[in-house]
Structure 1
Amino acid sequence: MAGSRTYRTKAIVLDKTKLKETDLILTLVAESGRQIRAVAKGARKPGGRLAARCELCCEVDLLLAHGRNLDVVSQADLIAAPLGASPSYELLTAGSAVAEVASRCTFEDADDPFVFPITSAVLEWIASVDSAHLDLLVAAYIFKLLSHVGYRPDYTGCVACGDEAPTYFSAQAGGVLCASCASNIAGAEELDPVTLSWLSALIALRFSELAAAQIDSFTASHLLALAHLWAATHLDCRLRALEFMLGC
């Protein structure tokens, strides 16, 4: 209804911040891809109806009221809780990393319909894989989402000279480099052919294909570290949840 103070949307909970004694400020990504910050009043009360429906990474159907600075949650119905009622420490850390990157790639004044479905998809997949694939899927999510918002790495050849046999990776340079050009780029990292091929696969393959692929823990962890470097460099921020995941 035109001019209505309320509106309904599906959203994923990306972050929660305590407000006063019993309230929460929720950071959400709506189905449209727009970021929403809203107050959930009484969400921290023991036994409160909103508490279980506003957990990190939950997908919810919300009725929101427009506010002067923050919107207000009037109603919340749980659609999905991909991390489960009692997620493992490892799964919660991975979900936090996904949510952190999503919050950095969404904005309150811009719609982007790509963000919601890819975030919902990766959260569903990470709940059903082992630790190596957990790292792999989070790394893939980071490269896929950042490629979509304008930070796509170039793997076709050396980004400096076009050499078709690159052996180094540099987030600062924007992709892969040959050995000669890498010598002039601080922080360029030499990679073996297997890791280089995986970098391309992270963007090209679907989550379902990556979840079924054979990969060892060391390679998966290394790919996650490269994804973290790429995101921190191009989003120009510290990604604490990702740092924590890599330190686990």
Structure 2
Amino acid sequence: MAGSRTYRTKAIVLDKTKLKETDLILTLVDQTGRQIRAVAKGARKPGSRLAARCELCCEVDLLLAHGRSLDIVSQAELIAAPLGSQPTYELLATASAVAEVAERCTYEDAEDPFVYPITRAALAQLAPVDVAHQDLLVAAYIFKLLSHVGYRPDYSCCIACDDEHPTYFSAQAGGLLCASCAQGVPGCERVDANMAQWLEGLIALRFTELAASNIDPHTAARLLGLAHIWAATHLDCRLRALEFLLGR
């Protein structure tokens, strides 16, 4: 035989889609950073243990069997449920935004070991904090992950003329711009010095430091909005979970 038909891996559940009457298609990111799509047969049956162990954003130890197009979940053991056993609607919406970005930044034929630990770390901080800090953590996750995959913003100065006092944020241009350079770039967002400092902190600070920081809801929501613009621009797609989160 060329190799075993089954394999074991740890993974985080990013999405679930109904299949037939009782099955689910799970979208996962495994510990290597590879995206996996697998069928959990019978997961929607009443009393199914598999369903409880494969809820959104749960970290699971899986035994999978290779299939023709989708792998098959043969066994699942729960490692961690960062959202708790009964997450609120608001917490689920916030976690869905993290999962959506992770799904857009992972691929079935490419490994990236950075994605798994950063996604796990972000999800672990969401449940204990208030809405403002949840917004802050999601924004930080977006900028950290996109910076890793090649879309790192430049906050050091105006990226067009090197002016040391930029006052506009532009996803299209790739970072901060001064007022003069921003005139020729559509979609720029005005930012003050405090907002520019926060934008730097989203990448530089750890999730635990951000969760303990002092931030007001308006600033956090604004940072989340800028993160959404950055992600939508560079991933070139609609991020519906993020849009829903911003529309609360």
TM-score computed with the length of structure 1 as normaliser: 0.99
Question: For the residues of structure 1 that align with 2:106 and 2:162, how far apart are their CA atoms?
Answer: 33
What pairs with 1:47-126 in structure 2 (closer than 5 Å)?
47-126=47-126
What pairs with 1:156-171 in structure 2 (closer than 5 Å)?
156-171=156-171
What amino acid sits opposite 2:172 in the alignment? Answer: Q
Question: For the residues of structure 2 that align with 1:220 and 1:238, how far apart are their CA atoms?
Answer: 21
Question: For the residues of structure 2 that align with 1:53 and 1:151, how far apart are their CA atoms?
Answer: 34
Structure 1 residue aligned with 2:133? 133
Structure 2 residue aligned with 1:46? 46
1:163 offset after TM fit, Å?
1.1
- SS of the counterpart of 1:154? coil
What amino acid sits opposite 1:30 in the alignment? Answer: D
What amino acid sits opposite 1:125 in the alignment? Answer: Q
After superposition, the C-alpha distances for 1:83-119 in whole angstroms (9 at most, x for unaligned) are: 1111011110010000000000000001100000000
Q: Percent identity?
A: 77
Structure 2 residue aligned with 1:4? 4
Structure 1 residue aligned with 2:234? 234
- SS of the counterpart of 2:146? helix
What amino acid sits opposite 1:44 in the alignment? Answer: R
What amino acid sits opposite 1:113 in the alignment? Answer: P
Structure 2 residue aligned with 1:201? 201
What amino acid sits opposite 2:211 in the alignment? Answer: A
1:2 offset after TM fit, Å?
6.3
What amino acid sits opposite 1:59 in the alignment? Answer: E
What amino acid sits opposite 1:122 in the alignment? Answer: A
What pairs with 1:12-27 in structure 2 (closer than 5 Å)?
12-27=12-27
What amino acid sits opposite 1:196 in the alignment? Answer: A
What amino acid sits opposite 2:46 in the alignment? Answer: P
Root mean square deviation of aligned Cα: 0.9
Runs of 4+ in 1 over 6 A off after TM superposition: none
Question: For the residues of structure 2 that align with 1:69 and 1:80, how far apart are their CA atoms?
Answer: 28
Question: For the residues of structure 2 that align with 1:100 and 1:208, how far apart are their CA atoms?
Answer: 22
What amino acid sits opposite 2:170 in the alignment? Answer: S
Any unmatched runs of 5+ in structure 2?
Answer: none
Question: For the residues of structure 1 that align with 2:39 and 2:208, how far apart are their CA atoms?
Answer: 35
Question: For the residues of structure 2 that align with 1:211 and 1:11, how far apart are their CA atoms?
Answer: 24
TM-score computed with the length of structure 2 as normaliser: 0.99
Question: For the residues of structure 2 that align with 1:36 and 1:181, how far apart are their CA atoms?
Answer: 43
What amino acid sits opposite 1:75 in the alignment? Answer: Q
After superposition, the C-alpha distances for 1:213-245 in whole angstroms (9 at most, x for unaligned) are: 110000000000000000000000000000001
Any unmatched runs of 5+ in structure 1?
Answer: none
- SS of the counterpart of 2:49? coil
Alignment length, in residue pairs? Answer: 248
